[in-house]
Amino acid sequence: MKKIKIGIAGSRGLSTVMGLRALPDVEITALCNLDEATLDAQAKELGVAHKYRVFEDMLASDIDAVVIATPMQCHVPQAIAALEAGKHVMSEVTAGVTMDELWWLIETVEKSGCIYMMAENYIYTPQVQMVKEMVKAGLFGDTYYAEGMYLHNIDGLFKYPDGRSTWRSFWQCGKRGNFYPTHSVGPVMNWFPGDRITEITTYSPGVYNELGLRQDSGTTTMCRTEGGKLLNIRVDCTSPRPHNMTYYQLQGTKGIFQAASMGFGDRDKVSFLGADNPLGNMHWEALDNYRDYLPERYKAATAEQNAAGHGGGDFFIVEDFINAIRTNTQPEIDVYKACEWTAVGLLSELSVTNGSRTMQMPHFRKNMPLEEKKITL
């Protein structure tokens, strides 16, 4: 098998190292980081020979693919440069920071013929995967409502130690609306296979933080899907509260899944209608009772795959990227899904700054006509 050579840009990209190293005929040959001291330390620790401060210089090397894990506003410019250089791309979330960037990304992926995958890792957690299989098996009946919430106070991430502002002060909390939707939308849409979001409306209580940031004190975005389902997507990164980044709910005609609140002894739980669990008097049981529904590859994960992190999820995400390259088939989280889930956030900014107007979601798909590449109320 031909060896696939990978270059990784940005420190967060190192979360793929153990997964990539657990795969046969994959080699991490290059690292890129603007910060020289960080770059030197990481290359030494990982034993990677080639180091680049400039992303374009790394593209000129003989790598086949890049992991882009630089700040959000770098993702599309770097993905386009990589695709035009004939390199496959796995990009951190979110896919891009403007709607225009999303059209440019799609057009470049289509022209390049290279693989593009968004690294939406929350989909790969064992819980989210189990619920997907339980949906497929019909345990929830007809599913019609879901919630995804990312509640993560990031107060410490707005300033460098020397007092300069970080990119998060601008491209995340310097913006209105939901700036970080994919960890919530991705897992939830994964439970409605074949469906797509058609419109979104965002509500906010306004700005209550005292940091001088424009970001709302939490936003709630209601999404409608083509199949008539309703999604409630929430982000709050400035309010004083404990973290809860993986809160989900899925309601169907026969039962419900509700994720644990992080901490405080809560657990992922389900409840299904039955003779001993009647309407009006239903009780919870642990999601863990349904571990038989865990996909086979998770059940069979080796110690090395599990060690990559998140119950094997951090291995399977890179396995899917490498398989996509080897089979020359776009992965499940392709550029169209990446753009739709990212656009929930970009359109939410317009909705919330225009009296919670409903925004239409473009139908992101292959060979999308030029006249559809626009923003409509």
Ligand X SMILES: NC(=O)c1ccc[n+]([C@@H]2O[C@H](COP(=O)([O-])OP(=O)(O)OC[C@H]3O[C@@H](n4cnc5c(N)ncnc54)[C@H](O)[C@@H]3O)[C@@H](O)[C@H]2O)c1
Q: Which is nearer to ligand X, 9 or 79 (CB)?
A: 9
Which residue is it, tokens 């739980």? 269
Binding residues for ligand X restricted to 203-232, rule: CB under 6 A = none
Nearer to ligand X, 74 or 318 (CB): 74
Q: Kindly tell me which residue out of 26, 28, 67, 74 binds ligand X, with binding defined by CB under 6 A.
A: 74
Tell me the Cα Rg of the chain.
21
Q: Which of 72, 90, 105, 213 binds ligand X (CB under 6 A)?
A: 72
Question: Is residue 224 within 8 Å of residue 230, measured between CB atoms?
Answer: yes
Distance CA 93, CA 99 (A): 15
How far is it, in rounded angstroms, from Cα 83 to Cα 89?
7
Binding of ligand X by 10 (CB under 6 A): yes
Q: Which of 121, 209, 122 is nearest to 158 (CA)?
A: 209
| 9 lies in the binding site for ligand X (CB under 6 A) | yes
Q: Which of these segments, 10-18, 22-30, 203-211, 368-376, binds ligand X (CB under 6 A)? A: 10-18
Token reading at 152:
């993560």
What mask of x and - would describe binding to ligand X in positions 97 to 136, judged by CB under 6 A?
A: ------------------------x---------------
- Integer Cα distance of 96 and 307 in angstroms: 30
Q: Residue 93 interacts with ligand X (CB under 6 A)?
A: yes
Tell which one of 3, 25, 35, 292 touches ligand X (CB under 6 A).
Answer: 35
Of these, 33, 169, 190, 246, which contacts ligand X (CB under 6 A)? 33
Q: 310 or 363: whose CB is closer to ligand X?
A: 310
Q: Which is nearer to ligand X, 143 or 172 (CB)?
A: 172
Quick one: which H or E segment has residue 344? Answer: helix 335-352
Least Å distance, CB 11 to ligand X, is: 4
Site residues for ligand X, window 133-192 (CB under 6 A)?
166
Task: State the nearest-atom distance from the C-beta of 275 to ligand X, in Å.
Answer: 42
Contact 12, 93 (CB under 8 A): no
Stretch that binds ligand X, among 65-73, 80-88, 247-255, 290-298 (CB under 6 A): 65-73
Query: Is residue 162 a contact partner of residue 330, using CB atoms and an 8 Å limit?
Result: no
Q: Is 92 in the site for ligand X (CB under 6 A)?
A: yes
Q: Which one among 38, 302, 329, 360 touches ligand X, defined by CB under 6 A? A: 38
The answer to whether the beta carbons of residues 244 and 258 sit under 8 Å apart is no
CB of 119 to ligand X, least distance (A): 6
Binding pattern for the stretch 344-373 against ligand X, x by CB under 6 A and - elsewhere: ------------------------------
Give, in order, the Cα–Cα distances in Å from 192 to each of 121, 176, 273.
17, 28, 21
Size of the site for ligand X (CB under 6 A): 19
Whole-angstrom distance, CA of residue 124 vs CA of residue 246: 12
Q: Which amino acid is at 299?
A: K
Rounded Cα distance between 285 and 126, Å, is 17
Helix axes 335-352, 99-112, angle to 10 degrees: 170
| Cβ-proximal residue to ligand X, closest one | 12
3-class DSSP state of 141 = coil
Question: How many angstroms separate the CA atoms of 118 and 338, rounded?
Answer: 6
Q: What are the residues binding ligand X (CB under 6 A)?
A: 9-12, 32-35, 38, 55, 69-72, 74, 92-93, 121, 166
